[in-house]
């Protein structure tokens, strides 16, 4: 099956096209049968996920914030 380079990428969660979001993260997902497929999440959906996690699992959220801070404060090579 040939790939159509003109196809618009959309968020797998909300359906917004790439042109309407700030960032679209693309990765490989696995369905319930173990089949792999491309999964895309936009910055809006990731932000919503982070808000839910900050509310429901503050310990996990705080750990993520610490890891981001450590990563962004590393000295440049």
If one counts every other C-beta atom within 10 angstroms of the C-beta of residue 51, the result is 11
More confident position, 74 or 64: 64
Alpha-carbon radius of gyration of the chain: 16
Q: Which residue has the higher pLDDT, 44 or 74?
A: 44
Question: The tokens of 59 are what?
Answer: 């310990």
Structure tokens at 22: 């700030």
Q: Is the pLDDT reported for residue 3 higher than 70?
A: no
Helix (H) or strand (E) holding 35: none
Phi, psi (5° rounding) for residue 30?
A: -125, 125
For residue 41, the tally of other CB atoms under 10 A from its CB is 20
Q: How confident is the model at residue 77 (pLDDT cuts 50, 70, 90)?
A: low
């Amino acid at each position: 099956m040939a790939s159509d380079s003109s196809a618009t990428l959309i968020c797998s969660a909300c359906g917004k096209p790439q042109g309407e979001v700030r960032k679209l993260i693309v990765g490989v997902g696995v369905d319930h049968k173990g089949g792999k497929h491309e999964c895309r999440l936009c910055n809006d959906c990731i932000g919503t996920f982070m808000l839910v996690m900050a509310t429901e699992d503050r310990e996990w959220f705080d750990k993520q914030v610490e890891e981001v801070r450590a990563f962004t404060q590393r000295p440049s090579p």
